[in-house]
């Protein structure tokens, strides 16, 4: 019980001194420590990061989903128009947004981000309802409310940071803000490209659907599928953040076994979540689209794509965790190249080939799923082949060098 109590009280991110103590304690712990207890402790550590992160991401993404739902019940054309904006155009910037959000979460309390996101979501629902059903502004009203809600969340977090909410990390505007900016930019660029390529990948389906027959119906159906997929993806992205923190923490402590264990627990947890949503989609496939529309042709087409959607959701629960391992290990550039090869050299060409064989959207989507499989297998091999003991030694050397530079 004493060992468990100590592990539960550990901070998520350790100082240099704490990392050294953590490392020596790990070496002294008996190997026969109860496995269930270790899994429980590791799971709690991950959910401390993943929980608020998932909640805030779901709240923020729900604003675009609610906007689509209001637009969809105004008509098929309105749903198609707003879907192109929310699922394609906005998706281009989401990779860099998630990267900057992780940086922001390192400065702000994740609970604060979750509360601000929840308030913005509540305001968005009320204002959207008023604009659409009371003021009868239509699709313009849904777009305006989305802008208002996004800016409300940005201003809320900004005011919290500059008005004393972060006394240990915010001391006012100064030139120190530009120190290390180039290193941060390089890391953010690699992370942003990595996430951008992942986030934009399945949005290609919506672009392609614009060149098919029954364009309006196809765009509506695919945008609903992609929105459901994106909605669920906020959960694996939360595990991406948590895995990145845990891997970086254990590497800094020189604990290679801890890295492996944290990765395994995170993959299993995220996969369990994936199976849960897979079963929901398979069980309620005929009613999925009713949140967004009352159009029978759109509901029928979404039902047709439900199996592909379910397996896309399931596969997407593994690779974000592996991407989190990459983030915690500093491999963002490597994963960016893996994404380019898997998605845009394998997935997209294979999808186009299957589409040309008269399989249409179904063939294109199936080919793109193959790209995801290739990416997941590649990241799995990289993670399994990695010599974590050497990576831990490198991390310890970096910490020693950084410590020496400040003395």
Question: Can you tell me the distance from the alpha carbon of 196 to that of 106, in angstroms, rounded to the nearest whole number?
Answer: 21
What backbone torsions phi and psi does residue 139 show, to the nearest 5 degrees? -65, -30
Token code pair at residue 391: 């990576």
Structural domain that includes position 226: 38-172+181-401
Write down the pLDDT at residue 265: 92
Mean pLDDT, rounded, of the chain: 77
Residue 16 lies in a domain: no
Q: What is the DSSP string of 351-386?
A: HHHHIIIIIHHHHHHHHHHHHHHHHHHHHHHHHHH-
pLDDT at 315 over 50: yes
pLDDT tens digits, 6-23: 443 444 444 444 545 554
Residue 5 lies in a domain: no
In a domain, 7, yes or no: no
Q: What is the DSSP string of 148-214?
A: HHHHHHHHHHHHHIIIII-TTT---S-GGGGTTHHHHHHHHHHHHHHHHHHHHHTTHHHHHHTTSSS
- Judge whether 188 and 102 are in contact, CB under 8 Å: no
Please, are residues 239 and 49 in contact by the beta-carbon 8 Å criterion? Answer: no
d(CA 291, CA 68): 9
Q: pLDDT of 323-336, one tens digit each? A: 888 878 878 778 87
Give domain status of residue 311, yes or no.
yes
Q: For residues 133-148, give the mean pLDDT.
A: 78
pTM: 0.77
Residue 209 or 151, more confident: 151
Contacts of 71 (CB under 8 A, 6+ apart): 78, 79, 81, 82, 83, 139, 142
Q: How many domains does the chain have?
A: 1
Query: Residue 19 domain-assigned?
Result: no
Q: Is residue 24 part of a domain?
A: no
- Between residues 166 and 100, the one the model is more confident about: 166
168-215 pLDDT, tens per residue? 666 777 776 677 677 767 766 766 676 677 777 777 777 777 666 666
Question: Cα 31 to chain center, whole Å?
Answer: 34
Lowest mean pLDDT among 63-72, 190-199, 346-355: 190-199
In a domain, 33, yes or no: no
Please indicate, yes or no, if residue 294 is contained in any of the structural domains: yes
Cβ neighbours of 374 (radius 10 Å): 18
Whole-number Å distance between alpha carbons of 280 and 285: 8
Rounded Cα gap, residues 143 and 222, in angstroms: 20
Asked if residue 209 lies in contact with residue 302, where contact means CB atoms within 8 angstroms, the answer is: no
For the chain, how long is the longest CA-to-CA vector?
69
């Amino acid at each position: 019980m004493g060992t468990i109590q100590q592990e539960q009280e550990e901070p998520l991110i350790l100082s240099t001194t704490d990392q050294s103590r953590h490392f020596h304690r790990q070496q002294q712990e008996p190997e026969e420590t109860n496995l269930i207890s270790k899994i429980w402790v590791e799971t709690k550590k991950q959910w401390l990061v993943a929980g608020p992160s998932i909640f805030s991401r779901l709240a923020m993404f729900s604003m675009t989903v609610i906007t689509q739902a209001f637009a969809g019940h105004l008509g098929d054309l309105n749903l198609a128009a707003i879907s192109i904006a929310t699922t394609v155009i906005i998706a281009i910037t989401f990779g860099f947004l998630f990267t900057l959000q992780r940086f922001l979460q390192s400065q702000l309390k994740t609970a604060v981000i979750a509360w601000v996101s929840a308030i913005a979501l509540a305001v968005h629902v009320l204002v959207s309802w008023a604009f659409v059903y009371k003021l009868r502004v239509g699709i313009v009203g849904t777009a305006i409310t989305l802008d208002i809600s996004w800016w409300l969340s940005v201003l809320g977090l900004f005011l919290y940071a500059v008005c004393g909410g972060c006394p240990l990390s915010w001391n006012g505007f100064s030139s120190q803000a530009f120190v290390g900016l180039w290193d941060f930019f390089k890391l953010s660029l690699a992370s942003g490209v990595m996430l951008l390529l992942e986030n934009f990948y399945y949005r290609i389906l919506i672009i392609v659907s614009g060149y098919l027959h029954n364009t309006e119906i196809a765009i509506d159906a695919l945008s609903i599928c992609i929105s459901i997929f994106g909605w669920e993806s906020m959960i694996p992205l939360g595990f991406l953040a948590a895995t990145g923190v845990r891997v970086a923490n254990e590497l800094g402590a020189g604990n290679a076994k801890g890295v492996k264990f944290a990765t395994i627990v995170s993959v299993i947890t995220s996969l369990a979540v994936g199976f849960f949503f897979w079963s929901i989609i398979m069980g309620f496939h005929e009613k999925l689209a009713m949140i967004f529309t009352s159009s029978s042709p759109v509901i029928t087409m979404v039902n047709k794509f439900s199996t592909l959607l379910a397996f896309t959701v399931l596969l997407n629960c593994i690779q974000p965790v592996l991407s989190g391992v990459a983030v915690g290990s500093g491999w963002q550039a490597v994963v960016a190249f893996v994404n380019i090869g898997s998605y845009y050299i394998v997935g997209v060409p294979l999808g186009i080939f299957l589409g040309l064989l008269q399989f249409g959207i179904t063939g294109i989507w199936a080919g793109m799923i193959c790209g995801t499989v290739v990416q997941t297998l590649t990241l799995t091999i990289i993670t399994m082949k990695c010599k974590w003991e050497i990576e831990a030694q490198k991390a310890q050397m970096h910490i020693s060098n950084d410590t020496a530079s400040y003395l």
